[in-house]
Amino acid sequence: MLAIETINLTKDYSVGFWRKRPKRVLDGLSIEVKAGEIFGLLGPNGAGKSTTLKIFLRLIFPTLGTARILGKELDDISAHEQIGFLPENPYFYDNLTAEEFLNYAGELFGLPVAERQRRTARLLQQVGLEGARNVQVRKFSKGMVQRLGIGQALINDPELVFLDEPMSGLDPLGRREVRDLILSLKEKGKTVFFSTHILSDAEMLCDRVAILNRGRMQGCGELKEMLALGIASTEIVVVSPQQNLLDELKACGGACVRTGERVRVAIPKESEVSTALNKILQAGVEVVSVNPVKMSLEDYFMEQVGKDSVKRHEEELIAQTKGGR
Amino acid sequence: MTAAAPLKSGRYATRGASWALLVLCFVALFGVQRQIDRETDMYSKINEVLYVRTGTTLRALCLGNEGLMADIYWTRVVQYFGRGHLEGGDTKYQLLAPLLRITTDLDPQLIIAYRFGAIFLMTNRPVGAGDPQSALQLIRRGIVANPDYWRFWQDIGFVYYWELHDYKSAARMFSIGSSRPGAPFWLKALAGTVAAKGGDLQTSRFLWSEIYRHADTDAVRSTAEAHLATLKARVDMDKLDDLLESYRTKTGRAAQSFYDLHSSGLLSGVPKDPSGVPYVINPDGHAALGKGSKVDLRLLQ
Amino acid sequence: MRAMNRVAAIALHTFKEAVRDKVLYNLVVFALLLIGAAILFSSISVGIQQIIVVDLGLSSISVFGLIMAIFIGIGLVSKEIERHTIYHILSKPVRRVEFIVGKYLGLVLTLAINTAIMTVGFYLAIYYQKRSLGAEDLAPLSAIYFILLQLAIVVGLAIFFSCISTPVLSAVFTFCVYIIGHFLSEMRWLGTTLHSRVAKGATEVLYYLLPNLSDFDFITRTAHGEKISASLMVSNSLYALLYVTVLISASILIFEEREFK
């Protein structure tokens, strides 16, 4: 079963105060998310990630195209029974406590009182807020607010969880906890769909990702596939090699970089690695490390989105503000 | 997983229902409003203005916007007065004095309110409130707030003169007014005339025409006009009475109509009153207003 | 039935959020102080002590009720949109209609309870002054009921404007309509004196279109011991109910289409 299916999802916002003109923020997005996977929506700021999530949650309506969430049309709110949502930079009612808010959220799902109390207590503990259960939200730090946001997204034990920038505002420990939480959701068979512009998070968590830039999908697929399945090169670090050895290594296609006594040699072909290592050992040179180097998501991202895309985006913004005056 | 009952957002159904409700309720509101209007008549609506009985309290509540508030109250005065005029009959202008008081408390420099108040508080019903004491009070407050404005002395003197027939006080007021900056030369002369002769038609006509010429509001102008017409008619009729008298002494019999006077050369035509209706001769032999005349002699009470 | 439960939950939590606001506390305390001060004022005036306590007491309830209605009406809907707290609610199985209706009921509940507190203060002031309370003292209750009806309309206005504008502008619009709503019969009368038929028609349309709030002002008459007729009670209640329905329907129409960017 598909958890999410979108066909040509498109959204235009009208911009400009006096003369309204449409600006396409999401352009023909078609993705499929399978039940039980962790799916990452990646892209720089302003790529259309939040727009996509808001369409899924009926906070905005698509200009073109359709989407089905858990097999239901967007207009069918019963899908929301099985959905959890953490908005970007969540904000809560100042004067309600964490416990009251979770309880309120439970009420909106029609949960019976006892069940609400049980889940509230469990979630507060799970997101590390049990000590602050009776504190009004306005006294919360940004990290605590983010935790409460995650808690309320899980109150209905959802099948599908949408997280918009779940790591933002969290300290390293908090990020780790959220990562563990997302993985534990996957273990329970839930589907997690999250957006982020932090690639390392996606790399660690996602089964599949889609990359968005300026409203268009640049690529979509399994992370391993996208990262060219494996090793991009092998890096050997040696201490004080002789010059003739380096020349020989270069003949194997290696690139050498010297840092003090040490020299880093990158061998692109796997088949050449053993030849190179044999030569080094024969020369009696000390080997510090041998490392396979994977293509990182960042490399891929840069390749797809292009180095200048962020710059172009900024230029476009400047042009718009000038035109708008 | 709970069994999810079908829960459509109902966006379109909601929209239809909302439009229907909106239109239906507006139609119903129209009816209810008319019902409420019937129950609370217009008079009671203006009554509700007087939450606060004095302008000084209201002034504090205005937080510096008392000028605007005074304007609003002034508008209410005019409307309240106008409404009474439209309804006619037994209109009681019992709120005129307090409304004017609040207005002038809010803006003590609102000259127009004092002058309007002087005329319409003083004049008898149904034209005004018939309350000359309130009129005096109002102008006195105007004088305190604007001591150099000579017309207030003319106005206060006029109330004494016209309504209270207190010619001594009237003369004194005119005399004080004549010493204010910008006062015209005639005010001093007027003080002398009133002190010497009391009330006479000539002085009254002069005073009313002065009010007519310097009226700030249509209401004041038209009431001055009506008074002038009445005064003119009074003067006319006195003259006609004299003519009738001289006709009797000349011919030894009473005139049957003004044609008799015409044929005997005493009149050049049949005289008409200021509203254009010819005068007639009463059974008792005095000149009187013709049928359909708009001149109202009651104004000269 | 589930829908009703959700509306109730939204209403209840709106109420909870509102009554904990410090500003609201302060307003209630200040209103009670002013009602207390009415006793002081009345003791230095001659002949109209009772009238002053009723006048000032009821006016305090009305004025502070208005401030609260605008303040919480805007604060709890417009701010909810601006601060995105609404995302949490609408991402749950909640229809937008339910949100609006729930919010409205919660706000009216808040106002009703605050008005009740001020009413108790008001009667304490009357009791302090008269040393007794009789059946004749029940008359102000109907004036207070009318104040509450008026506030119910004001909250409806606040929600309506919140759906189309920013918090500050919503407050300004609501206040403006409140003021105009008190001058409608004057405006209509003014219209009848105008020569232009267009202007006449316009004032007539506005008279029926805008909320005629002056019909709910009975403070002075109450202070003079006048009773409000039963039929007026019925027609004014009906008017408020219909007008609120209009405002809520209009709010829903706008809100259903609203996009939360």
C89 at the A interface (CB within 8 A)?
A: yes
The pLDDT tens digits for B89-112 are 555 677 788 888 888 888 888 888
Lowest mean pLDDT among C12-21, C48-57, C151-160, C180-189: C48-57
The pLDDT tens digits for C37-74 are 877 776 665 556 677 788 788 888 898 999 999 988 88
Closest-CA residue of C relative to B12 is C256
C-chain residues within 8 Å CB-CB of B40? 215, 232
Chain B nearest CA to A108, separation (Å): 13
Do the strands A160-164 and A255-259 form a parallel or antiparallel pair, or are they unpaired?
unpaired
Distance in Å from the first CA to the final CA of chain B = 94
Cis bond before residue B126 (omega within 30° of 0): yes
- Per-residue DSSP letters for B113-130? HHHHHHHHHHSPTTTS--
By Cβ distance, the residue of C16, C83, C93 closest to A91 is C83
What does the alpha-carbon distance between residue A61 and residue A64 come to, in Å, rounded to a whole number? 9
> Which of A189, A177, A196 shows the shortest CA–CA distance to A50?
A196
By Cβ distance, the residue of C208, C220, C256 closest to B33 is C208
Average pLDDT over residues A36-51: 89
Bridge partners (DSSP) listed for residue A66: A7
Which residues of A, range 41-80, sit inside 8 Å of C by Cβ? Answer: 54, 57-61, 77-78, 80
List of residues 6+ apart from A184 with CB closer than 8 A: none
Position B43 scores a pLDDT of 41
pLDDT exceeds cutoff 80 at A161: yes
By Cβ distance, the residue of B32, B42, B47 closest to C239 is B32
Average pLDDT over residues A33-47: 89
Q: Tell me the CA distances in angstroms from B34 to B27, C150, C235, C236, one per residue in order.
A: 11, 18, 10, 11
Pairwise CB contact (< 8 Å): C21 & A92: no
B-chain residues within 8 Å CB-CB of C93? 7
> Which of A291, A282, A293, A290 shows the shortest CA–CA distance to A241?
A282
> Which of B160, B180, B181 shows the shortest CA–CA distance to B170?
B160
The pLDDT tens digits for A116-131 are 999 999 999 988 898 9
| AA identity, residue A272 | E
Position C45 scores a pLDDT of 57
What does the alpha-carbon distance between residue A165 and residue A168 come to, in Å, rounded to a whole number? 6
Whole-number average pLDDT of chain A: 84
By Cβ distance, the residue of C93, C207, C256 closest to B11 is C256
Lowest mean pLDDT among A138-147, A152-161, A269-278: A269-278
A27 at the B interface (CB within 8 A)?
A: no
Both structure tokens of A40: 């990452």
What does the alpha-carbon distance between residue B68 and residue B72 come to, in Å, rounded to a whole number? 6
Distance in Å from the first CA to the final CA of chain C = 31
- Are A276 and A218 contacting, i.e. CB atoms less than 8 angstroms apart? no
Which value does ipTM take for this structure? 0.86
Position C145 scores a pLDDT of 94
What does the alpha-carbon distance between residue C147 and residue C216 come to, in Å, rounded to a whole number? 7
- Are A220 and A208 contacting, i.e. CB atoms less than 8 angstroms apart? yes
The residue with greater pLDDT, B128 or C90, is C90
Position A324 scores a pLDDT of 44
Position B4 scores a pLDDT of 40
List residues in chain C touching B: CB distance below 8 A: 2, 55, 59, 93, 95-97, 183, 185-186, 189-190, 193, 207-208, 212, 214-215, 217-221, 229, 231-232, 235-236, 238-239, 242-243, 245-246, 249-250, 252-253, 256
- Per-residue DSSP letters for A120-178? HHHHHHHTT-GGGTTSBGGG--HHHHHHHHHHHHTTT--SEEEEESTTTT--HHHHHHH
Q: Residue holding tokens 């502070």? A: C64
pTM: 0.70
- Are C103 and C159 contacting, i.e. CB atoms less than 8 angstroms apart? yes
Q: Residue holding tokens 């933002």? A: A168
- Residue B257 three-state SS: coil
Q: Residue holding tokens 């949502």? A: A85
- Are A146 and A137 contacting, i.e. CB atoms less than 8 angstroms apart? no
Residue B76 banded pLDDT, cuts 50, 70, 90: confident
Position B134 scores a pLDDT of 87
The residue with greater pLDDT, B49 or C136, is C136
Both structure tokens of B80: 């309240």
pLDDT exceeds cutoff 50 at B2: no
Bridge partners (DSSP) listed for residue A235: A266, A291
Position B7 scores a pLDDT of 56
Phi and psi at A161, nearest 5°, equal -115, 125
The pLDDT tens digits for B223-256 are 888 888 888 888 888 888 888 888 888 887 877 7
Chain C nearest CA to B22, separation (Å): 5
Q: Tell me the CA distances in angstroms from C23 to A100, C71, C77, one per residue in order.
A: 21, 9, 17
List of residues 6+ apart from C112 with CB closer than 8 A: C148
pLDDT exceeds cutoff 80 at A113: yes
- Residue A60 three-state SS: coil
Whole-number average pLDDT of chain B: 79
pLDDT exceeds cutoff 70 at B49: no
Mutate to test the interface with C, among B18, B30, B87 (most CBs of C within 10 A): B18
By Cβ distance, the residue of C10, C84, C89 closest to A91 is C84
pLDDT exceeds cutoff 50 at A35: yes
Whole-number average pLDDT of chain C: 86
What does the alpha-carbon distance between residue C81 and residue C136 come to, in Å, rounded to a whole number? 47
Q: Tell me the CA distances in angstroms from C4 to A108, B37, C96, C98, one per residue in order.
A: 10, 36, 13, 8
The residue with greater pLDDT, B46 or C244, is C244
List of residues 6+ apart from C18 with CB closer than 8 A: C24, C72, C75, C76, C106, C107, C110
B-chain residues within 8 Å CB-CB of A159? 1
Q: Tell me the CA distances in angstroms from A26 to A145, A213, C91, one per residue in order.
A: 29, 9, 20
pLDDT exceeds cutoff 90 at A286: no
What does the alpha-carbon distance between residue A199 and residue A182 come to, in Å, rounded to a whole number? 16
- Are A130 and A124 contacting, i.e. CB atoms less than 8 angstroms apart? yes
What does the alpha-carbon distance between residue B201 and residue B29 come to, in Å, rounded to a whole number? 57
Position B262 scores a pLDDT of 78
The pLDDT tens digits for C90-138 are 999 999 999 999 999 999 999 999 999 999 999 988 888 888 887 778 8
A28 at the C interface (CB within 8 A)?
A: no
Position A311 scores a pLDDT of 61
- Per-residue DSSP letters for B13-78? HHHHHHHHHHHHHHHHHHHHHHHHHHHS-HHHHHHTTTTSSSHHHHHHHTTT-HHHHHHHHHHHHH
Average pLDDT over residues B125-132: 79
What does the alpha-carbon distance between residue C137 and residue C143 come to, in Å, rounded to a whole number? 12
Average pLDDT over residues B191-202: 82
By Cβ distance, the residue of B26, B39, B83 closest to C189 is B83
Lowest mean pLDDT among A142-146, B52-56, B252-256: B52-56
Q: What proportion of chain B, given as a percentage, has pLDDT over 90?
A: 5
Position C98 scores a pLDDT of 94
By Cβ distance, the residue of C2, C239, C256 closest to B15 is C256
What does the alpha-carbon distance between residue A228 and residue A302 come to, in Å, rounded to a whole number? 14
The tally of CA atoms less than 13 A away on the side-chain side of residue B90 is 0
In terms of Cβ atoms closer than 10 Å to its own Cβ (0-12, 13-18, 19+), residue B264 is middle
B185 at the C interface (CB within 8 A)?
A: no
The pLDDT tens digits for C205-229 are 888 999 998 888 877 677 766 778 8
Pairwise CB contact (< 8 Å): B42 & C185: yes
A-chain residues within 8 Å CB-CB of C260? 54, 59-60
What does the alpha-carbon distance between residue A131 and residue B38 come to, in Å, rounded to a whole number? 63
Residue B44 banded pLDDT, cuts 50, 70, 90: very low
A-chain residues within 8 Å CB-CB of B7? 76-78, 80-81
Q: Residue holding tokens 């229907």? A: B20
Q: To 10 degrees, what angle do helices B150-158 and B132-145 make?
A: 170
| AA identity, residue A303 | E
Average pLDDT over residues A74-83: 90
- Are C74 and C174 contacting, i.e. CB atoms less than 8 angstroms apart? yes
Position B24 scores a pLDDT of 92
Closest-CA residue of B relative to C59 is B51
Position A38 scores a pLDDT of 94
- Characterize C189-223 residue by residue with b for buried, 16 or more Cβ atoms within 10 angstroms of its Cβ, and e for exposed: bbbeeeeeeeebeebeeebeebbbbbbbbbbbbbb
Lowest mean pLDDT among A226-240, B38-52, C205-219: B38-52
Which residues of A, range 216-235, sit inside 8 Å of B by Cβ? Answer: none
What does the alpha-carbon distance between residue B173 and residue B153 come to, in Å, rounded to a whole number? 6
In this structure, chain B runs to a length of 301
Q: Tell me the CA distances in angstroms from A289 to A275, B35, B50, one per residue in order.
A: 16, 95, 94
In this structure, chain A runs to a length of 325
| AA identity, residue C31 | A
- Per-residue DSSP letters for C142-176? HHHHHHHHHHHHHHHHHHHHHHHS-HHHHHHHHHH
Q: What proportion of chain C, given as a percentage, has pLDDT over 90?
A: 40
Q: Residue holding tokens 């009237």? A: B170
- The separation between CA A161 and the C-alpha centre of its own chain, rounded to angstroms, equals 13
Q: Residue holding tokens 């050049």? A: B268
- Are C225 and C139 contacting, i.e. CB atoms less than 8 angstroms apart? yes
Position B46 scores a pLDDT of 47
Bridge partners (DSSP) listed for residue A6: A67
